[in-house]
Structure 1
Amino acid sequence: MSEFTPRSARHGRQSRGNDEAWEWVQALAIAVVLALIIRYFVLSPFSVAGPSMLSTLHNGDKVIVNKMIYLIRDPEPGEVIVFHASEDKDYIKRVIALPGQTVSAQNNVVRVDGRSIEEPYIDERNRTADFGPVKVPKDHVFVLGDNRMNSSDSRELGPIPLDRLVGRADVIFWPMNDFSFLW
């Protein structure tokens, strides 16, 4: 057996190493692109700021927002949504009424189209000040915070245009001991 190793054999091992490194670079690049696509178009984290959704959500809770759901269907009453309240601020609130419906509150009872709605997410000590009636325009939703005494919502902002919705808050993922689904 000769001590001479053909140059092609040495190159083959080096070539395989380069191929493997190139495959890792490609795999990582694809993973980064997929993560960015998911982050910006499908699911996004959102950090709750303030007490407006107590006792459902607390200041500092982190939720996952489903950005695709409202491309497939319209919002439904009771869903917790994130929307652009202004150009630089997003809010998280609960959908109470849909386009064409009339919403009001009297004596701490919220009514949609004259019927009181069940609100098991509201703390019994929480009060809803009288308002309305407000007819929700086409392509809008009426939203309220769960902590009605401390929430800037449709009572102040007016009905929210559907094109300002970011998505539906689906999961509380932080802190871990509060992990739960919101639907």
Structure 2
Amino acid sequence: MAPLAVLVLQTAAALENLAVESYTTAAGLPFVVRGNARLRELVARNRAHHIAHAQTFNRAVAKAGGAPQHAPDVRYAPTVSRRLAAMTDADSLVGLLIELEGINAQTCTRYASLAEGGRLRSLFVSVASVEAQHGSELLILPTLPDGGSAVTHATGAAVRAVPAAAGTAGIPHAAFPTGNASAINEGAVR
């Protein structure tokens, strides 16, 4: 069996690969292409972050003596692919992306507690915080007028019109959970 560091890094890379595939598909969905500009921006930016995270995890796994993981997570990929193929609206897409960001954030949070050494621990904490930020922004999006399009370059009056719920929608947990973290060896290169 591979060392713990290799297993958790391969699984983290597999989850990032899944996120990259999901955001790539999302970017091409008709209701994203022709829809809300803020959602398009989040999809493009989050996809770029996931590409960078996958590359970082794969560099780290190679340093740890393991094989880089270029495939998406096998546990989630078939279900996510089916759900994306059936997507017809932005709300469903945002819900799916929130789920994926939550799984990634919870997995990295859990793995940070298992990691040996400050560099690996810092890597997982850093990525977990970015994934949590993605999830928070996606949670806030539906609470904003026009899905946030009007707020991006808003006047003072438009900002004052933002509902109070937008201030707390992106903070669903008092303490970050790890119950949906992926199994340590889930993304192992086989």
* TM-score, normalised by the number of residues in structure 2: 0.22
Higher RCO (CA-CA < 8 Å; seq separation 6+)? 2
